Structure 1
Amino acid sequence: MPVSLRDVPAAAEARLRRVFAARREQTSAIAPEVADLTDLITTFTLSGGKRVRPVFAWSGYRCAGGVLDTSDAVAALDLCAALELIQACALIHDDVIDLSDTRRGNPTVHRSVTATHRHRSWSGDADHFGMSTAILLGDLALSWADDLIIAADLGPGIRTRIGPVWSAMRTEVLAGQILDVVGEAGYDESVDAAFRVMRFKTAGYTVARPLQLGAVAADAPDDLVVTLGQVGDGLGIAFQLRDDLLGVFGDPERTGKPSGDDLVAGKRTALLALALQNADADAPRVAAELRGLVGRPLDARELDRARAILHDVGAVRAVEDHITRLVDESVGILTSAPVEATARAELVAYATAIAGRRM
């Protein structure tokens, strides 16, 4: 079992490898073609990613006094692995929705399947086949996550308490994705809309719910579960705000995606919403210029101009200020919470690192 949070990613991956080996055997018995395609879930899940959700789930378990080398700890590790399968589902589907070409520096799942279709000269439209198969693979990852929860060695009382948290998390992340799609279709540029999407699409299943799931696995009292949810809300939004900045200013070697990809895709991020809000109030012509630069391919000069506008209208500084405030508030709540001291210190250090992406 992981002794510190540094040990969690490797432990979660080891558990996932066992899951994938069992599922490989199962899908091979159905058909070799099915097994070959479902291998993409394995490759995608294990190729990159920082295992943020398992780390927060294990942190919740330890904050609530969960002990090592017990059946409860094994069950908590199953939760950690299940969260990575939820993440795989969300990312595979997100890349289909965004028509993304790369993820973590590699072709997205639907692009990989499309390439396989063309390489094997199969009939039909290769792009449609790639997207259809990726949707099904994402669904399969979600079902495997549920399988892990069902099979976890949880006591009856703990299982009863985990069910509603797990159910709420799944509904929130999918509802958040729907909000994101609707917001783009309806061209909702408001800051409130951007933060609402972050709260449900990212913060809940990235930090808040994993912390709560881990705490419930340790049979934490209800008030501590609520408190960890509050901590996770703030940290999760801070995490996504940092991701918004990296989506525009990040190094592709670190992010695995082209620099400025969020602007090209026209994502309704909080960064963009704050920029438009500020520019609409103080510089309408600049606001119009920024709108003209979003949601289409940009050359290097145009991308530099869009970045400059984000700085000039104060959006970058506003996002940084939000991150600082949210982390400080979350740490403040955690500091006064009745959690295990060593686990608290590790969580504070980890949360501060991911908010600044110093990890």
Structure 2
Amino acid sequence: MANDAVADNAARATLRPVDGDDPVTAVLAACTRDLVRAVEETLSAFLAVEIDALAEIDAAMGDFAATARDHVLAGGKRIRPTFAYWGWRGVAGPEAALPPVLPALSALELLHTFALVHDDVMDASDTRRGLPTAHRALATRHRAAGHRGDPDRFGEAVAVLIGDLCLVWADRLLAHATLPATRLLETRRCYDQMRVETVAGQYLDVLGENDPANWSLDRALRVARYKTASYTVARPLLYGATLGGVGVDAPTVAAYTRYGLAVGEAFQLRDDLLGVYGDPDLTGKPAGDDLRSGKPTVLLMLARQLARPAQQARLDRVGTDLDEDDVAELAGVVEATGAVGRVEQMISERVDEALAALDVADLDGTARSALAGLADASTRRWA
């Protein structure tokens, strides 16, 4: 069924700069206000049609699809569509029309929901964005209904299906982009490579949690690159560039790759710090989550490398059953090793690398300023 609502919404979409003395603030505010709203409206229109179609199979399918929709629209920064937008805008120019590419930008949020829901199942996470994760909410619903079987197993199974459905929806929405077939094919190749790299990073992440004794700092950095940097920043930028008709060998693509990997790695390094020191009211996750899970992040691998023998003995408790006092104590140990300062330095180095890449990129001033501002906003955050 053609999703006419997507086309109608795209036709109305526009991205308008806002007034202000600081051009960086203006373009970032425009992203937040206009692009995010356009993405939300595109997703809502597309999902309404998809839910109605599934409800025709069975009323339960309509409820299932509505649950998937609720997780897609449950908030979030919409970082991937934002980077993809500026990747497109940087090569297409300020006069390029947004409506033809808006479905493709919005599809990245469906891909992201797929990844988040599956990641939460793998990590047995309880919360996401301050709310119960999909599998926990579904298990609670199962218990309340008094159904047969194991509620937790039911929740995990249905959450996996929700993720699968979002992955299919992402493909469908991407196909709504009204672009030449050759351009969509190039975009699809970039999209497929992004998905392969995400799976690679996710597998290495799972492997690291189950075999931390044989992990290394290099491998932790590899996870940061493939699970986060490529998927969050670098590939969305290249995806946007292909939407703008730029081939993979173009000089701008090389600059985007250099910038994207640097910002993406810095983004993950900030996540590593938030995983130990983040405020739950801002992150939506329990404090010290990474200390409880024993996830071998760059921060914790550095702490082990830098720790003195007495500190190392205390760090051996990471990944065990910890109460709040234990978490606070271990967070102090990690900081005392110097690992926090080293990670902050690594973040700064990567932001500098990203800005250097922009200096040689063939971009107009607005796109350059926006990407510079996004590098800062993505790596100096508290959630």
Q: Same fold (TM over 0.5)?
A: yes
- 3-state DSSP of counterpart to 2:295: coil
Are 1:135 and 2:148 counterparts? no
Q: Deviations along 1:26-62, whole A, 9 cap, x unmatched?
A: 1111111122122122111211211111110101111
**TM-score, with structure 1 as normaliser:** 0.95
Partner of 2:15: 2
Among residues 307, 311, 322, which one is paired with 1:298 in the alignment?
A: 322
- 3-state DSSP of counterpart to 1:20: helix
Alignment length, in residue pairs?
Answer: 353
Are 1:63 and 2:90 counterparts? yes
Q: Distance in 1 between matches of 2:140 and 2:93?
A: 46
Instruction: Note the C-alpha offset of 1:251.
Output: 0.8
The answer to which of 218-227 and 129-138 deviates more is 218-227
Among residues 326, 349, 356, which one is paired with 2:373 in the alignment?
A: 349
Partner of 1:332: 356
Are 1:189 and 2:194 counterparts? no
- 3-state DSSP of counterpart to 2:56: helix
Among residues 56, 73, 84, which one is paired with 1:29 in the alignment?
A: 56
The answer to which of 90-99 and 216-225 deviates more is 216-225
Q: Distance in 2 between matches of 1:217 and 1:300?
A: 48
1:216 and 1:225 in contact (8 A); partners too: no
Q: Distance in 2 between matches of 1:40 and 1:277?
A: 44
Are 1:243 and 2:271 counterparts? yes
Q: Residue 75 of structure 1 aligns to which amino acid in structure 2?
A: P
- 3-state DSSP of counterpart to 1:338: coil
Alignment of 1:136-285 (within 5 A): 136-187=161-212, 188-221=214-247, 222-279=250-307, 283-285=308-310
2:200 and 2:227 in contact (8 A); partners too: yes
Q: Residue 54 of structure 1 aligns to which amino acid in structure 2?
A: P
Instruction: Note the C-alpha offset of 1:68.
Output: 5.1
Instruction: Note the C-alpha offset of 1:218.
Output: 1.1
Q: Distance in 2 between matches of 1:178 and 1:219?
A: 32
1:101 and 1:108 in contact (8 A); partners too: yes
**TM-score, with structure 2 as normaliser:** 0.89
Partner of 2:122: 97
Q: Distance in 2 between matches of 1:265 and 1:30?
A: 40
- 3-state DSSP of counterpart to 1:74: coil
Q: Residue 118 of structure 1 aligns to which amino acid in structure 2?
A: R
Give me the identity figure in percent.
Answer: 42
1:24 and 1:39 in contact (8 A); partners too: yes
Q: Residue 176 of structure 1 aligns to which amino acid in structure 2?
A: G
Partner of 2:144: 119
- 3-state DSSP of counterpart to 1:123: coil
- Label 1:201 to 1:357 Cα distance change in 2 as closer, same or farther (>3 A): same
1:59 and 1:343 in contact (8 A); partners too: yes
- 3-state DSSP of counterpart to 2:204: helix
Q: Distance in 2 between matches of 1:213 and 1:75?
A: 14
Instruction: Note the C-alpha offset of 1:300.
Output: 2.5
Q: Which runs of 5+ in 2 are unaligned?
A: 1-13, 17-29
Q: Deviations along 1:78-135, whole A, 9 cap, x unmatched?
A: 1221111111011100110011111111010001111111111111111101000100
Q: Distance in 2 between matches of 1:356 and 1:13?
A: 25
Q: Which runs of 5+ in 1 are unaligned?
A: none
- Label 1:253 to 1:68 Cα distance change in 2 as closer, same or farther (>3 A): farther
Q: Distance in 2 between matches of 1:132 and 1:340?
A: 48
Q: Distance in 2 between matches of 1:277 and 1:8?
A: 43
Q: Distance in 1 between matches of 2:95 and 2:173?
A: 20
Q: Distance in 2 between matches of 1:277 and 1:154?
A: 50
1:189 and 1:276 in contact (8 A); partners too: no
1:57 and 1:79 in contact (8 A); partners too: no
Q: Residue 60 of structure 1 aligns to which amino acid in structure 2?
A: G
- Label 1:145 to 1:243 Cα distance change in 2 as closer, same or farther (>3 A): same
- Label 1:66 to 1:28 Cα distance change in 2 as closer, same or farther (>3 A): farther
